[in-house]
């Protein structure tokens, strides 16, 4: 027997969390109806991040805010939804959360992912149709494809292996089937995500697992863009890059390579799996993809990072002119080796270094974006602007969803654009991170 289940979800942290949320929603079947109003829901689900302190604080604040809203609604005579909390925060802190937050009715840890649907159904006392494997909740233009869980690296600042365990790849046949289903539904872009996407298949005994994954996805009929995220430097071998260069579209020459730092001493102290000069991997990528758009993240203020180390990082960013850069101050997370290291950097120094590096990168980004003015680009349309009729938000191939800038497309009066379609535009102007264009 099917019942309508009204669900309000908040998915915090990385896209991998969002995929977990989408799979849970899909498993609840055709009777599942999303709602933007938590007070209209039967189930309010918060999928949390517990990676670093700011993410923990955001997760806790979100849970407590919703709990208070639900409580006040109940006090005034309204029906109260079931409040469920899932994800990394639950896996990391477990019983402590249950003691401190009695308002939460259901706790779902990441080591119980396969049981989440049954646990939710049991809590709601509903039987639901299991036919749908996933309900995509992103814009019509793209969907994430999570290819694995956990990580087998031993980076000394990271809590992910202790929260989600070692690398655990999704079987290839399952991934291709899921991807085909998503593309058949009309989604033009797949964004591959994993803790280390290039390590795909290593736990399954697969030789060249990442290449085989790419082969399977690139052959999907109707797929227009394939974007890969979280590519560890060591996994981008010449053999892999040569294969991708020969394959061509729908693969996009967009490389998200989390380098974390540029100085070999800091990289070695971090326990990074590729602790040599990161210029090596950039040169390798550009050898096969001269036009590559490269995104990376850096951590500043890591224990032992000196002024000299930071100047080295600044010089690296200035010289390499990367398309997209994210900078994060180091946070000492309980249970990680780095938290117990000597040489902890004062918070004010971390913030100064972050601001200085981002100021440098904003200058570089603005110059790169201005280089597109006057050119024609293909843009994947996301939605019509809610503020300006006739203005549409979209992304060029070098703009990943949710983390990079946008391309704003104006159309003549009487014309419209359809979200999820690709249009050719002429770029008229640029800002630090965004473009403006005419269709």
CATH code of the domain containing 329: 3.80.30.20
CATH code of the domain containing 381: 2.40.50.140
Residue 132's pLDDT band (cuts 50, 70, 90): very low
Instruction: Indicate if the pLDDT at residue 130 is higher than 90.
Output: no
**pLDDT, tens digit, for every residue of 241-274?**
999 999 999 999 999 999 999 999 999 998 887 6
Residue length, the chain?
439
**pLDDT, tens digit, for every residue of 10-48?**
999 888 889 998 888 888 877 788 899 999 898 999 999
pLDDT of residue 125: 65
Residue 3's pLDDT band (cuts 50, 70, 90): low
428 and 319, same structural domain? no
Decide if 136 is inside a domain. no
Decide if 134 is inside a domain. no
Helix ranges, 125-185 (H): 160-164, 172-184
Best CA proximity match to 143, nearest among 421, 379, 420? 420
385 and 338, same structural domain? no
pLDDT of residue 123: 84
246 and 351, same structural domain? yes
CB distance 224 to 250 below 8 Å: yes
CB distance 187 to 178 below 8 Å: no
User: Structural domain tally of the chain?
Assistant: 3
pLDDT of residue 80: 79
Distance, in Å, from the CA atom of 262 to the CA atom of 315, rounded to the nearest integer, reads 9
Paired tokens of 242: 């040569």
Residue 332's pLDDT band (cuts 50, 70, 90): confident
Listed range (85-89, 133-137, 264-268, 391-395) with the worst mean pLDDT: 133-137
Best CA proximity match to 418, nearest among 389, 386, 392? 392
* 125 vs 373: which has the higher pLDDT: 373
Q: What's the average model confidence in pLDDT over 213-235? A: 92
Residue 2's pLDDT band (cuts 50, 70, 90): very low
Instruction: Indicate if the pLDDT at residue 4 is higher than 90.
Output: no
Classify residue 265 by burial, with Cβ atoms within 10 Å: 0-12, 13-18, 19+.
middle
Locate tokens 């969907």: which residue?
143
pLDDT of residue 371: 95
Q: Which residues of 268-286 are buried (b: 16+ CB within 10 A; e: fewer)?
A: ebbebbbbeebeebbebbb
99 and 50, same structural domain? yes
**pLDDT, tens digit, for every residue of 334-348?**
888 898 899 999 999
Decide if 282 is inside a domain. yes
Instruction: Indicate if the pLDDT at residue 319 is higher than 90.
Output: yes
- From 319, 349, 370, the end of a domain falls on 370
341 and 234, same structural domain? yes
311 and 352, same structural domain? yes
Instruction: Indicate if the pLDDT at residue 129 is higher than 70.
Output: no
Confidence (pTM): 0.72
* 347 vs 139: which has the higher pLDDT: 347
Q: Which domain holds residue 111?
A: 5-124
């Amino acid at each position: 027997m099917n019942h309508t289940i009204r669900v309000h979800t908040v998915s915090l942290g990385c896209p991998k969390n969002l995929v977990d949320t989408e799979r849970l929603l899909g498993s609840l079947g055709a009777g599942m109806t999303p709602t933007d109003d938590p007070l209209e829901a039967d189930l309010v689900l918060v999928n949390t991040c517990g990676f670093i302190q700011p993410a923990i604080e955001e997760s806790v604040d979100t849970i407590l805010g919703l709990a208070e809203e639900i409580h006040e609604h109940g006090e005034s005579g309204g029906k109260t939804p079931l409040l469920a909390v899932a994800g990394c925060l639950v896996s990391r802190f477990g019983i402590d959360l249950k003691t401190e937050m009695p308002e939460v009715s259901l706790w779902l840890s990441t080591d119980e992912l396969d049981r989440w649907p049954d646990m939710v159904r049991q809590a709601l006392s509903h039987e639901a149709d299991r036919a749908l494997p996933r309900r995509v909740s992103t814009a019509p233009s793209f969907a994430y494809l999570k290819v694995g869980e956990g990580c087998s690296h031993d980076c000394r600042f990271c809590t992910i292996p202790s929260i989600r365990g070692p690398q655990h790849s999704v079987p290839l046949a399952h991934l291709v089937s899921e991807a085909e289903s998503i593309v058949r539904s009309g989604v033009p872009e797949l964004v591959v995500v994993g803790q280390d996407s290039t390590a795909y298949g290593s736990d399954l005994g697969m030789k060249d697992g990442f290449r085989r994954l790419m082969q399977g996805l690139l052959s999907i009929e109707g797929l227009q863009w394939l974007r890969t995220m979280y590519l560890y430097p060591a996994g981008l071998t010449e053999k892999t890059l040569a294969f991708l260069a020969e394959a061509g579209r729908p693969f996009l020459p967009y490389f998200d390579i989390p380098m974390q730092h540029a100085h070999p001493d800091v990289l070695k102290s971090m326990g990074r799996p590729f602790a040599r000069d990161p210029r090596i991997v950039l040169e390798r990528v550009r050898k096969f993809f001269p036009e590559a758009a490269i995104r990376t993240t850096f951590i500043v203020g890591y224990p032992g990072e000196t002024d000299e180390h930071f100047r080295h990082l600044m010089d690296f960013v200035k010289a390499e002119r990367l398309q997209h850069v994210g900078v994060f101050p180091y946070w000492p997370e309980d249970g990680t080796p780095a938290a117990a290291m000597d040489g902890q950097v004062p918070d004010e120094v971390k913030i100064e270094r972050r601001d200085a590096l981002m100021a440098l990168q904003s200058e570089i980004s603005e110059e790169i974006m201005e280089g597109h003015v006057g050119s024609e680009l293909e843009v994947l349309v996301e939605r019509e602007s809610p503020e300006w009729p006739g203005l549409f938000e979209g992304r060029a191939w070098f703009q990943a969803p949710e983390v990079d800038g946008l391309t704003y497309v104006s159309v003549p009066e009487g014309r419209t654009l359809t979200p999820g379609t690709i249009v050719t535009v002429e770029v008229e102007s640029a800002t630090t991170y965004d473009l403006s264009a005419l269709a």
